[in-house]
Structure 1
Amino acid sequence: MTIDIKNLDMNGIEFIQYKDYFIIKRYGKYFRLGVPEANMLQELTVHRDVQAVLSKYRINEEDFSKFIHALEECGVVGDVKKERKNILFYRFKLINPDTYLDLIVNKFLSNKTANRLLLIFSVLIIMMGLIDLLKNISQITYGFFRDFVFFDLITFYIATILVIFLHELGHGIACKYFGGKVEEIGFLLIFFSPALYCDVSGIWSFKEKKKKIITLIAGVYVQLIIFSLCSIIYDLYFGQSTWLATFILWNVLMIFSNILPFLKLDGYWILSNIVEIPNLYEKSLKLALGRGEEVLFDEREIFKKKFIKVFGILNIVFVFMSVAAGFVGIYYVSINIGGYFQYVILFFEGITYFLVLIFFGLFLYKLSKQKSLR
């Protein structure tokens, strides 16, 4: 029986060819296909001639039907699939910043000589900031959340959100500088902790790995500059400020957590791009949970199977260790704050981390039952 695809929606598909695979872009989402599969899809989008494809690629109707169904399931063809919601990593879009980032890049980053000078200056700032941190490390550590009152927490929270925004803006500007599109800045909950994000999935259209890595590092680099400026100001003018000491150390902790690859933050995306394994997080957890090689894409990923599996095990261990560390950390903060407010913090701490464990367990269970992500 002939397979009818005439009414199948194939609008919005873009093909980006690499050496041994294709990246398929559709409505801001990116997928990876092998060369034969991508060639088949490309011919179907142009001619819609199923019989010609079956004959050319020597594929039977049953296998072809499974192929089309798999593409529909992912959203490569057919109806646009809504992103699967994960309460541990919940996000929603706020604005499309592409036009504004275009203006920033064209106005301030169009001169290569000025860019080099800016890079040199920023490196010097970071070096000075690190020196001042080491110089005052005992005093800064002693002042961490010491004698904070409720007003201090509010201003600290606002300052943190501002730093996160600038961090994400760094990703967006770098992506735009290299010619990518940045179509989404939004709000994110990571383990019920509020944050912002900048969608730079446009880096998948970059053929140079260096540009991808620089874009992913850009956010941490911006935050290093902010931390360094605060460290220099602390050393010069505000050596007794426990608020500024806390803000400096808090930025160090945020930078460190960002470059760890066990959360889907900068470090994870850098690692995923270095080893060239899309959906590394999901694949690693599936292998750690006992799924076979069917979750892997090609021979190159199968060759890295042991690494991927170990990464998945480390991810699971990291979540449970983070929950334990979270209990200890927030308890420490609540003790320093004192008063009735510490009991409010401890109560919400217990509820939050209990929910994290429950939902992470459910996430692992559902992941073990899902079809392969490639």
Structure 2
Amino acid sequence: MIKQISIFNAQFESLVESINEADGKYVIRTHDDRFFLFGENSVSLLNRLETATANEIEEDEEQRLAHFIEKVLLPKGIYQTKGARVTYKPKKPTLSLHFEILNASMVNQLCKGLVWLFIPLVVLSVGLISLVAHVSYFTSHLHVFSYEYILSYTPIELATILVLSLITSFFHELGHASCCKRLSGKAGGIGFGMNFFIPVFYANVSNLHILPRSKKAAIAISGIYLQFAVATLFILLEPYFPAVEKYLVLNLIGICFNLIPFFRNDGYWLLNDLSKKDDLLSETFSRMKRLDNIEVIHVIYALLLVTFFAVSFALMANFSLFRGPDIIEQLLNQSIYSFSAYLKGGLVLLHYLVIAISLFLLIRHVGNLIILKFRNLLISEAN
């Protein structure tokens, strides 16, 4: 409910829903799901406005409070003049195409039945069972970790992967939403969109802004936790539906990729929250470039980043020079071409395309750095 504020012979509407303290900062949440970081002095003024009546405000306070309303609260849309009815558009997902499939009310109803899964003891039990199930399964199915296996699909396997991936992707986002519901009391909607031509689900967990970093970290990992648990159920189906095996492999690869803390995915935000950073990647690049205010975590993160990309390019080189040509030769020697053969050929070409784009981006980035260094050198010599 929007609160009416009468002060200084004027009437305002307060859109403040809650004022929360998290990690030494104050987060203001509005009724239309917008969030603002305030310092202690600003929160003190806001609390005064929210709780005091016009008669309780001393004359020496009036000018400060009036200035605060005019310069801070009204421009940010935290307060608005009575009857203004200004609508502020919520922040949209950074996707090229997106639409909501379940609104916040529907999601919160679904989450009510799942929040028990995020009780610490339950998380420990389910996580341990899922880990043991996956380790046991894949140690007896080591043949699945090969290019030949991963690049080969029958139509049934492809359909199975599509259906099960949609199910687990939805539960992944529902995991984020349910954990957010348990820890903050509220979750947003769940939608579907496209990210660089890749279809993805997304969940609105913006209410995590009112939480301390430890709880934000829990929300960051909650999607992978529930996805891992759901995949464990599918392991039980594999003896009866062999096509599930291929899905299980790709799901595990997807989870591992999502945990890599060098892309802006769940693993990255988990590391940010655990290390109490807002954007560790940008911060590391910035400080390493200036050689200023470098912390131990920046050095470790930079070394891990370099190691990761060195290993990645080594694997790309191995595929480009050895495994890829072998698979192409096998395909060319076939006398009859099936759906699986055409699909495998297409996936091999896709691998080469990704490798080519990666090399191009690397060369362009290194080239830009060299040009920038050379330009700065010329400028310093000229001065």
Q: Name the TM tier (shorter chain).
A: 0.5 to 0.7
Segments of 5+ residues of structure 2 without an aligned counterpart are 1-9, 81-85, 332-339, 370-383
Post-superposition offset of 1:161: 2.2
Post-superposition offset of 1:127: 1.1
In the alignment, which residue of structure 2 is the partner of 1:221? 225
- Structure 1 residues 273 and 351, CA, compared in 2 at 3 Å: closer, same or farther? closer
Aligned counterparts, 1:72-87, within 5 A = 80=88, 83=91
In the alignment, which residue of structure 2 is the partner of 1:128? 133
Distance in 1 between residues matched to 2:298 and 2:72, nearest whole Å: 28
Distance in 2 between residues matched to 1:341 and 1:250, nearest whole Å: 15
Counterpart check, 1:342 vs 2:348: no
Aligned counterparts, 1:192-207, within 5 A = 192-207=197-212
Deviations, residues 232-289 of structure 1 (Å, cap 9, x unaligned): 544x456xx4x43321221111111122222222212222222233355555555566
- Structure 1 residues 196 and 353, CA, compared in 2 at 3 Å: closer, same or farther? farther
- Alignment RMSD (CA, Å): 5.3
Judge conservation of contact 1:261–1:267 (CA < 8 Å) in 2. yes
**Secondary structure of the structure 1 residue equivalent to 2:271:** helix
Deviations, residues 177-227 of structure 1 (Å, cap 9, x unaligned): 2343211212344454221121222223234x5543333222111222233
Name which of 159, 171, 174 aligns with 2:164: 159
- Structure 1 residues 85 and 174, CA, compared in 2 at 3 Å: closer, same or farther? closer
Segments of 5+ residues of structure 1 without an aligned counterpart are 1-5, 293-301, 366-374
Code of the residue aligned with 1:195 in structure 2: it is: V
Distance in 2 between residues matched to 1:106 and 1:165, nearest whole Å: 16
In the alignment, which residue of structure 1 is the partner of 2:244? 244
- Structure 1 residues 116 and 279, CA, compared in 2 at 3 Å: closer, same or farther? closer
In the alignment, which residue of structure 2 is the partner of 1:267? 267
- Structure 1 residues 284 and 14, CA, compared in 2 at 3 Å: closer, same or farther? farther
Post-superposition offset of 1:134: 1.3
Judge conservation of contact 2:193–2:201 (CA < 8 Å) in 1. yes
In the alignment, which residue of structure 1 is the partner of 2:33? 28
In the alignment, which residue of structure 1 is the partner of 2:334? none
- Structure 1 residues 167 and 200, CA, compared in 2 at 3 Å: closer, same or farther? same
Judge conservation of contact 1:182–1:202 (CA < 8 Å) in 2. yes
Code of the residue aligned with 2:141 in structure 1: it is: N
- What is the TM-score of this pair, normalised by structure 1? 0.63
- Structure 1 residues 18 and 348, CA, compared in 2 at 3 Å: closer, same or farther? closer
Code of the residue aligned with 1:131 in structure 2: it is: S
Code of the residue aligned with 1:11 in structure 2: it is: L
- What is the TM-score of this pair, normalised by structure 2? 0.62
In the alignment, which residue of structure 2 is the partner of 1:15? 19
Code of the residue aligned with 1:342 in structure 2: it is: G
- Structure 1 residues 120 and 194, CA, compared in 2 at 3 Å: closer, same or farther? same
Distance in 1 between residues matched to 2:107 and 2:132, nearest whole Å: 28
Distance in 2 between residues matched to 1:8 and 1:282, nearest whole Å: 40
Code of the residue aligned with 2:28 in structure 1: it is: I
Deviations, residues 110-138 of structure 1 (Å, cap 9, x unaligned): 6999x957963663343133112112223
Aligned counterparts, 1:165-176, within 5 A = 165-176=170-181
Distance in 1 between residues matched to 2:143 and 2:159, nearest whole Å: 25
Deviations, residues 320-348 of structure 1 (Å, cap 9, x unaligned): 98799789889969957433873587369
Counterpart check, 1:148 vs 2:153: yes
Judge conservation of contact 2:114–2:178 (CA < 8 Å) in 1. no
Post-superposition offset of 1:230: 3.6
Counterpart check, 1:185 vs 2:184: no
Q: Which moved more, 1:341-350 or 1:189-198?
A: 341-350
Post-superposition offset of 1:8: 9.8
Counterpart check, 1:278 vs 2:282: no
In the alignment, which residue of structure 1 is the partner of 2:104? 98
Distance in 1 between residues matched to 2:117 and 2:158, nearest whole Å: 41
